Amino acid sequence: MEPNQKPLKADDSPTEQHPLFGLEIEEWTPPNRSTVHLKSFAIANDGLEYATKGIRDGENSQVQVTFPLHVPASEWFCTKLAEMCSVPTPTCRVLLEPESQELFFGSKINLAAYRDALVVNQWSELLKNASFYLKKQLWAIYAYDQFIYNVDRHFNNYLYVQTRQNTVAVEAFDFGLSSLVHGWPNKIGSALLPADCKTNLVWAIIKQVIGSDADLTASACNVLDKLRTLDSKAIDYIFSGMPEAWLSALQKQALISWWDSESRMERLSSVESEVTR
């Protein structure tokens, strides 16, 4: 089973169950690109490569957040919640470093994704030629980022994947500056992202290029509807697969209580007003 994972019944999960067996890191590998917290890559004993984040990665960041030790918890929570809401994101696993016994968040490397960071001209051209499906993905991810208070969705915090139809699709990765590191949700309430954060600055450009219509806003609202539908059992399930060292029982319960409260609905309404305006 995954480290610290509790046994689950077959019908406990709103999606698929957590993997039965954990993964161990066999070799650290050099990064080909990095983000604010993402500095390390590793090959696990399944033979695949993962982008990794540990508890100390937030402490070493140049960006100051309220709870820097919550970086791996934020990554795990937001990735798993995204999966439940059909927001495209890479598969993640808990990785054990055998020597130190430290547990890392691991995001599986998508070998079909662009390996190098995009420059502005490439990104601009990609948006101009965006397929209908890519536009819908971008709107859905924006709504999700607003809900989880992700301040750092810049244009290289998407994974760009070439499809068999010779178009480009994206996956949202890097939730290290979202949600739990800011004290979300209780310290954030229904507040939207700051106007000057990277997510909003980049979104303003994206929206201007790809446009807005009923179908695109519907893809954003669809994510919010799924977040309304999920009950606190789904949140407890996400936490059941997360190492206990990443987040205290008290903090988990605080989030679960918020999820059961009217405050969640108020936040969702606030985000919906933003994406439909």
Q: Are 36 and 61 in contact (CB under 8 A)?
A: yes
Place of tokens 């208070």: 149
DSSP strands (E only) in the chain: 23-29, 40-44, 49-53, 92-97, 102-108, 158-162, 168-172
pLDDT (tens digit per residue) in 194-244: 999 999 999 999 999 999 999 999 999 999 999 999 999 999 999 999 999
Torsion sign over Cα 204, 202, 104, 47: positive
Question: What is the architecture, at CATH level 2, of domain 120-276?
Answer: Orthogonal Bundle (1.10)
Q: Are 54 and 104 in contact (CB under 8 A)?
A: yes
Domains of the chain, by residue range, sit at 23-108, 120-276
Q: What is this structure's pTM?
A: 0.91
Instruction: Specify the pLDDT at position 15.
Output: 52
81 vs 1, 100, 224, 252, CA distance in Å? Answer: 20, 29, 12, 14
Instruction: Specify the pLDDT at position 90.
Output: 96
d(CA 113, CA 170): 9
pLDDT (tens digit per residue) in 59-71: 766 678 999 999 9
